[in-house]
Each structure stands twice: as structure tokens, then as C-alpha cells.
Amino acid sequence: MTIRLSALLLSSVVSFSAAQAESLRASVTVQTDRPGSVIDPGIYGQFAEHLGRGVYEGVWVGESSPIPNTRGIRNDVVAALKELGVPVLRWPGGCFADEYHWRDGIGPRNQRPTRINTTWGGVVDDNAFGTHEFMDFAEMIGAEVYVNGNVGTGSVQEMAEWVEYMTADNNSTLAQLRRANGRDKPWRLHYFAVGNETWGCGGNMRPEFYADLYRQYATFIKTPRDNKPQRIASGANGSNTEWTEVLMREAGKHMDAISVHYYTLPRGEWKDKGAATRFPESEWMSTFKRTLRMDEILTNHGKIMDRYDPQRRVALLVDEWGTWYDVEPGTNEGFLYQQNSLRDALVAAINFNIFHRHAARVRMTNIAQMVNVLQAMILTDGPKMVKTATYHAFALYKPFRGATHVPVEVSTAEYKLDAESVPAVHATAARDQAGALHIALTNLDPHRAATVELRLPGQTIKALQGQILTAASTDAINTFEAPDAVRPAPFKVPRARGDRLQLEVPAKALLVLSQR
Ligand code: AHR
């Protein structure tokens, strides 16, 4: 059966019992005459929390570590992230943000207090990685900074003083303290959030209560005129549109953005989420079904925002998203360490496609998280480091950053399993600033290649080059011993006929085509 996606949707181990050998069919029409919104590079942002081995070991090893580092920050991780490009980095949480007191993380490291990270494993944080170290790291990788303030256990004064410490360009006592701690010039503060998940770990608040608190805190985010951060309100849990409604109604005028968090759990159960590898085919299917809900979630929050903010001044930021599995056997439950397979790369691709469609409102997202936590770009083990499948998905989508979204119309066979089904082929397209067109095609069927008829009405298709990301099994991972099991490879693009091109997208694959 062929299903038609609505025009403006425009847009194991796991060698599962083999199924239909013949390829499935799909057609993708790129509507080059209907350019959409610019895809903000911030959509490809990341998140690093004081959680497990995310910051400590993953980024920070300390100056005396045998692991090669620059001012305590590991060189291999910086090199990998610089190569990828990280448009924006969120820190220090997450739930951790609402227990973080910024003064703990400044001054001589051997005099900083140690605190218990009560949310994540009860481990002791020696505060070696504080504001200066974070800003140094962000500068090293070329990322804009997104600092998340503490509402849950902080105060308006503490938050206001942190902002002043980072941004004051005068001789205030806090600016002098920053200088005494080694930073003369203020840092550019791009984004600042007032609390995190204030409906949950950030304080279990009601939206009415938080809306008032937000207004109060946001009033005191005071910075020099040329260094105004975007003020972000802590947003909804997944599909909870009531939260967005109340916040937009009561505090919309005081914010530049509101967030939303949505994670993909294969089984949809927090106590039994499903494994990162060696999963049954039913969880390959359910992972994508649940990922595809992101579209409805953004549509529904967007509709509410449109009522209060028809000009779309306020952005919707998905500042936490990604897969969340059971932790790897034998690892600390509180560290959220999970493997990262080809499935994760395709989850990232599907989310990117959805974010592109919502680019008019969605102007930043932050995958959770950057290193060693949840759907990470990078995994480390002592001195060893490996780039994950998700890293490669981010790399393949680089041409879409800052490009103008071009709607696509997709007509595709379904990928079916028992009573469940999802559209097999997903697509997105965009035109970059130099005028080159980029198209990403994802085939979620783990058994069948997709014969895709690509159309660019009114245009002669020429000079396309392709990169393909696939692997031998759906749960293929990169390991320290075999780091290239999942990595992009060149794809030979067949010759086009006028405005049409027929190509075979292999099973379980992401293909990115770019005009040269
Ligand atoms: O990313 C892990 C956690 O997930 C964050 O700390 C929290 O905001 C969310 O619940």
C-alpha cells in the first residue's frame, strides 16, 4: 500500500528475520518554487550536563591528566567537535542546573567546594569545571553559549549576579572578580534560561506559579546593551500544551523563547525503556513511531504560540531531545550511559527533518547529550574516544545549517511490522546560501531498499553527489576497537533524466545528496 503524506508535510541481534526482498517504492517531489524558512544553525545545537561522565572525563580531565588536554579540556574531544561544528552548547543542566550555584565553580580550583550531585548518581562534584572552564571549552569548539540558570534552589539575586559576572564590561565588583579569576573581557552570553523542567526536577511547579516566577527572574537578567541574551522560559514536558498556553498567556511578552523536551523511549516506559543494542524489530519500529510524534508535538505547541504571538517573535526551542534507553549493563544507573547505533543516527535524521519543517518557530534544539550521556556524539573510555553513529548523522546534515528549507512532497510505501507501520521513506530539502540544493532521504525499512523517484519540477537535475550512512545490522555501533562500523561512504548517484532521477536507497539508510 502507498500512503501519501499531506502536501505541506512537505516536506538481534537484529538481523531481523528477513522479509520481502523486492524494493519498496516512493516518490519525492522537491518544491523548489516554494522556499520556506531559513533553518537556523542553532537547530544543530548540543547539551552538556554535569551528569555521569558527560563533563567530567568526557570533556574535563584536568591539567595534570595524562590524557592530552589544553587547560584541562581533552584535545581529542575538542578536535572531533570542532570538525563537526557545534553552533550552540547548553550547560550546566538539565536537572543539575537547579542545584548549581555558580560561585562554587569560580576561583582557584583547589579551594572550590565539593557538592553532591543529588540528581545524577549522588556523586561528588568538585566544581573543577565551572563558568570559566565552560566558556573556555565553548570558545575552543566555536559554540555560542546557552547558560541555564537555577530557579529551583537559587534566588533572583544569585541569578542576576551570575549574569553580571559573565557580562559586565565596567568596574563593578563582580567584573573585577571575573578579572581576578583570569578573564578580562566579558563573555558574550547568547542564551540564558530561567530554570529547567520547572514542572518536575526543577521544582514541581504549576505553570501559573512558574509563569510569575519567570517574570520576576527574567526582569533581573540585566546586561550591557550589546550583549543581550535570548531569555528562555522553561517549557513543557512533551505534549503538555497546557504548560505552553499558561506561559504564553501570562509571560509571553517577557520571553524570547520557550522550550519543550521530548525523548524517544522505545517502549514508552521510564522503568523499562528498552536496550540500546540487541533490540527486537518491534523496538526498531516503535522507536521510529515515537520519534515521529515530535512533529505533532511541535505542531500543537506552535498552534498555541501562534495565538499569542502570531508574528513568531518567540521561538520554540527543543532544548532536550534524543533517544533514552536502559543504561548499559554494569554501569551506574544515574550516569545514563548508553550505546549509540545506526538506529540512533536515523532517529536524529527524522528529528532534523521535522525541525526543518518547523523552522519558522523552532530556532534552536539541543540533543541530549554531547559526550557519554544518552544519545551522545562521542563516547570515551579513559584515553580512548570514538565518534558515534549520531555524530555522523549530524555531520551529514551540515549543509542544511543556515540553508532555506524547501518543502518536499513524499509519497511512500509503508514499512510494516505486525499491526504497526510507519512511512518508509522520509525526506527533507534545503537550498544553501550559494544556491546549491541539498536533499536527505531516509529509508526506515530494515529489509527492503527503496526505489525513489526524485523530482525537481521545472529543473534539470545535474551534478549531484551523495553520501550514504548505513551498516550491516540495525544495531551496528562504533567501538573503540572498530570505530568505523557506522560511517558515511560515497554514494554513486545515477544519471538523471531531465527533472527526474531514480535511485535506490538501501534498507535502513540515510542518504544525503548535494548539488556540487
Ligand atoms: O538529559 C537528562 C535529563 O533529562 C535532564 O537533566 C532533564 O532536564 C531531563 O529530564
DSSP 355-414: HHHTTTTEEEEEEE-SBSSSS-SEEEETTEEEE-HHHHHHHHTGGGTTPEEE-EEEEEEE
Q: Which of 197, 281, 283, 409 is catalytic?
A: 197
Nearest residue to 292 via CA among 123, 110, 114, 414: 414
Q: Cell 509519497 maps to which residue?
A: 411
| Sign, Cα dihedral of 160, 164, 170, 172 | positive
The atom number, within ligand 1, closest to the CA of 120 reads: 6
* Residue with CA nearest ligand 1 atom 1: 368
Give the pLDDT band (50/70/90) at residue 192.
very high
To the nearest 10 degrees (0 to 180), the angle between helices 342-357 and 293-308 is 30
pLDDT for 29-74, tens place per residue? 999 999 999 999 999 999 999 999 999 999 999 999 999 999 999 9
Task: Check: CB of residue 473 under 8 Å from CB of residue 515.
Answer: no
pLDDT score, position 463: 85
For residue 226, pLDDT over 60 is answered with yes
Distance CA 413, CA 391 (A): 29
Give the distance (Å) from ligand 1 centre to CA of residue 374: 10
Task: Name the percent of the chain lying above pLDDT 90.
Answer: 95
Q: Assign 360 a pLDDT band (cuts: 50, 70, 90).
A: very high
| DSSP 3-state of 98 | helix
Peptide bond into 142 cis (omega under 30): no
**pLDDT-above-70 percentage for the chain:** 96
Residue type, 68: P
Q: Tell me the pLDDT band of 22, cut-offs 50, 70 and 90.
A: confident
Instruction: State the pLDDT confidence band at 516, using cuts at 50, 70 and 90.
Output: confident
Ligand 1 mutation target, pool 194, 237, 261, most atoms within 8 A of CB: 261
Nearest CA to ligand 1 atom 8: 94
Q: For 254-264, how does the pLDDT look when each residue is reduced to its tens digit (9 = 90+)? A: 999 999 999 99
Average pLDDT over the chain, rounded to an integer: 95
Q: How far apart are CA 422 and CA 262, in angstroms?
A: 19
**pLDDT > 90? residue 285:** yes
Radius of gyration from C-alpha coordinates of the chain? 23
Kindly state the helix (H) or strand (E) to which residue 215 belongs, with its residue range. helix 207-219
With a cut of 80, say whether residue 7 has pLDDT above it.
no
DSSP 114: P
Residue with CA nearest ligand 1 atom 4: 94
pLDDT computed for residue 83 by the predictor: 98
Residue 462 has what pLDDT? 84
Residue 320 among the catalytic residues: yes
What is the H or E stretch that residue 429 is in? strand 425-431
Amino acid letter, residue 26: A
**What 3-state DSSP class applies to 421?**
strand
- Identify the residue whose C-alpha is closest to ligand 1 atom 7: 94
Rounded to the nearest 5°, which phi and psi values hold at 470?
-155, -175
Which of these, 204, 82, 220, lies nearest to 143 by C-alpha position?
82
Distance between CA atoms of 209 and 192, rounded to whole angstroms?
Answer: 20
**Which band of pLDDT confidence, cut at 50, 70 and 90, is reported for residue 21?**
low
Atom of ligand 1 nearest to the CA of 94: 6
- 197 among known catalytic residues: yes
Reply yes or no on whether the pLDDT at 272 is more than 60: yes
pLDDT tens sequence across 304-315: 999 999 999 999
Task: Exactly one of 57, 144, 320, 409 is catalytic; name it.
Answer: 320
